Structure formats: C-alpha cells, structure tokens
Amino acid sequence: MMIKRPFFWMIVATVAVFAIAPLVGGIGVRESLFLAAIYMILALNLNFMIGYTGYVNFGSIVFFGLGGTLGIFAITVWGWPLWAALIGAGVVVAGLALLLGLGILRLRGAYFALATIGVVEATKAFVSNFDPFGGSTGMYISFSAYKPLGGAREALWVAYFLLVAVLGISLLLSFWIKRSRFGLGLFAIREDEDAAMVLGVKAPLFKAIIYSVSSVLPAIAGVLFFFKNGVIQPEQAFDLTLSIEAIVMLMLGGQGTVIGAALGGFAYEQFRGYLLTSSTFSSFHLVIAGALLLLIVLFAPGGLIGWAHERWAITRKVLE
C-alpha cells in the first residue's frame, strides 16, 4: 500500500541524498545537513501536534532537551553505549510524555499552549537543580566516550548516519499516520473536537498517544545532537527559541503536510545558514530573516506547500 505511492519513494530518495551527499561533499556538507536533519525532525514531529491535531505546542523542545539530558547522563555517568542510550532516552521520554499528555491535553487552545511553555520551564528548572545531571553546569562528554566508535572523527560520522536514520523514520511515520485511521481521527479532532467525540473518536486518548509519539524521535535526536556537541547544559538543551523556530519552520513549509514540515525545516536551516555566513548579509542576518518570514506568513499563510497546492492539482495528488 504505502510502497505503491510515489511519495514513499520520494522519502527513500531524500534519505539516500542525505546519506550520500556528505560522502561526496565532505564534512562541511555533513555539518550543514546534520543541523538541517535536526530541524526537520523537530518540525516533522511537531507537525503531529500542530498540523494533524490542531494543538499548538510551544514546548516541543522539552523532548529534545530531556532526551539529550537522559541520554548523555547514561553515557557519561553509567557508561552506556550510544545505541542503548538512544533507546533508553526514547522510551523514558515517551512514557513521561504519555503521562503528561493525559494531564495537560485536557486543556485547549491558548491554555494548552501556555501549559506547554510551563512544562519547558519547569523541566529546565528541575534539571538545573538536579546535581546528578550536572546541575546548571551541565555534563561534559569525555573524548574517551568516542573511543568505542573509533575516536571523535568517526563518532561524529556515526552520529550523523544515525540521525539520518531517525529522519527517515520521522518521514515514514508522518506519512503512515497521515494515511491511517488513527490519523483520520486526529484530523477530526483538529477540525472540531466535540463533533469528533460525538462520532466516536476517543479524543483524550488519541491526543495523549500522539503527544507521546511526537516525543520519541526528538528525544533520540537530542541524544545524538548533544553526543556530537560534546557538552549539554540546561540553557542549551531547553532553549525556548528553538521551540518557536520549529513552529516557524512548520509555517514556512506548510503545516499538516509531511513534505511541508520537512521542506520547512530544511529551507529554514539553509536560509539562516546562508545569511549567517554570507559576507553581504551576515551583519544584519536577523533583520532579513525576520522580514522574509513576515512576508511568507502574510502572503502565503499555507506555507510553501499550501501555496503550491492552491495552484497545481498534481502537487495535491503526489505530495503528502
């Protein structure tokens, strides 16, 4: 079923490009694509909440930060291998998110959005004061932690390829949920939650499940990011700005669509990266970025994909 759709093969091609491009282009390309993949994973998983279910989650970064904190703790303090830390962080964060989701998803609209910000701040405050996690100074990864993977140079490549795998899973998961009965339930909640419940959609359960699902892959991406980063501090891990940037990526690409979330994340990274290193724009990169994003929101509120869908029938058929 999924395999017969052209979009499935587009996902395969995207992952292949991510895997091969740095081998050809070198480490400079890898660094750019690493960050792009992180952004895409954040945007794709946030899309489950905002695009599919219609709940604006301002605090999606908490999964990324908490996953990173737990994973790096397991690696540096308990000496776990990377793969075990990835799985462990994913499982624990998903469990916590499920419990949390059953609680805060009773809230709707602006109240939910505010609660998600509260979750980020509370988690950050907890980690900052919890000494086993290094408190506010954070945790530093010894270069020796990279040894089992063949040294820092090789470990960074391993982290990259694992991240590409996480990106691939994010894309497939987005595609699968969108086409599934479960996904249909989510869309119903997005359009009218009360009507959906009347029709038999178990809204509270659906919402908690999707909240939990949207937490797993960002948590794993967080471990990989901070493993490569070499240090994790609460200030960096629970950075509300990145949460809001993820929403911007979604709006840029087109919320509710798989390709839009992915494209938004990718385009945003490339765009900011270009401005930052361009000799012409680097001294006022924030001004340009802000102005362009404003224009997009004003004139293409559906994002790049929404804009394309309005014009061409073929994109509506092929792009999910």
Partner 1 sequence: MNRLALSLLVSASLVSAPAMTYAKDIVIGFTTSETGKLNADSAPQMQGFELWRDQVNAKGGIKVGGDKYPVKFVKYDDQSTSGRVQQLYVRLVTQDNADFLFSPYSSGLTATAAIISEQYGKVMITTGAAEGKTYELGNQHLFQTYTPANLYLASALDAVKAKAPKSKIALIYENGGFAKAVATGAKAYADKLGLNVVIDEAYDASTTDFSPILNKVVSSGADVLIGGGHFADGSTLARQLREQNMKLKMISLLVAPDVPKFAGLGSAAYGVSVPSQWESDASYTPDFGPTAAQFTKDYENRFHVHPGYHAAGGYASGLILQHAIEQAGSLDTDKVTAQLNKMDATTFYGHIRFANDESRHGLQVGHDMVLAQWQKKGGELEKEVVWPEAAGTAPLMFPISQ
Q: Is 17 in the site for partner 1 (CB under 8 A)?
A: no
Minimum distance from CB of 146 to partner 1 (Å)? 9
Shortest reach from residue 302's CB to partner 1, in Å: 27
Binding mask 61-100 for partner 1 (x = CB under 8 A): ----------------------------------------
Region near partner 1 per CB under 8 A, out of 41-49, 50-58, 110-118, 122-130: 122-130
Rounded to the nearest 5°, which phi and psi values hold at 139? -120, 135
- Residue 315: CB atoms within 10 A of its CB come to 15
Q: What does the alpha-carbon distance between residue 310 and residue 206 come to, in Å, rounded to a whole number? A: 30
Considering the complex, state which of residue 290 and residue 301 has its C-beta at the smaller distance from partner 1.
Answer: 290
Q: What x/- string results for residues 219 through 258 when contact with partner 1 is judged by CB under 8 A?
A: ---------xxxx-x-xx--x-xx----------------
Binding to partner 1, residues 273-292 (CB under 8 A): 273, 276-277, 282-283, 285-286
Q: Are 262 and 44 in contact (CB under 8 A)?
A: yes
Q: Look at residues 44, 56, 46, 55 and name the one whose alpha carbon lies nearest to residue 206.
A: 55
Is residue 23 a contact point for partner 1 (CB under 8 A)?
no
The Cα–Cα gap between 261 and 177 comes to: 14
Q: Which of 1, 3, 28, 313 binds partner 1 (CB under 8 A)?
A: 28
Using rule CB under 8 A, residue 124 touches partner 1 = no
Nearest to partner 1 of 270, 315 (CB atom)? 270
Indicate whether 297 belongs to the interface with partner 1 (CB under 8 A).
no
Rounded Cα distance between 119 and 311, Å, is 40
The answer to whether 270 contacts partner 1 (rule: CB under 8 A) is no
8 is a contact residue toward partner 1 (CB under 8 A): no
- The verdict on 132 binding partner 1 (CB under 8 A) reads no
Largest CA distance in the chain: 58
Nearest to 82 by CA among 170, 165, 169, 155: 155
Part in contact with partner 1 (CB under 8 A); list of ranges 9-17, 121-129, 193-201, 212-220: 121-129
- The least CB distance from residue 180 to partner 1, in Å, is 33
What would you report as the CA-atom Rg of the chain, rounded to the nearest whole angstrom? 19
Query: What residue ranges bind partner 1 (CB under 8 A)?
Result: 26-28, 31-32, 34-35, 125, 128-129, 135-138, 140-144, 152-153, 156, 228-231, 233, 235-236, 239, 241-242, 273, 276-277, 282-283, 285-286
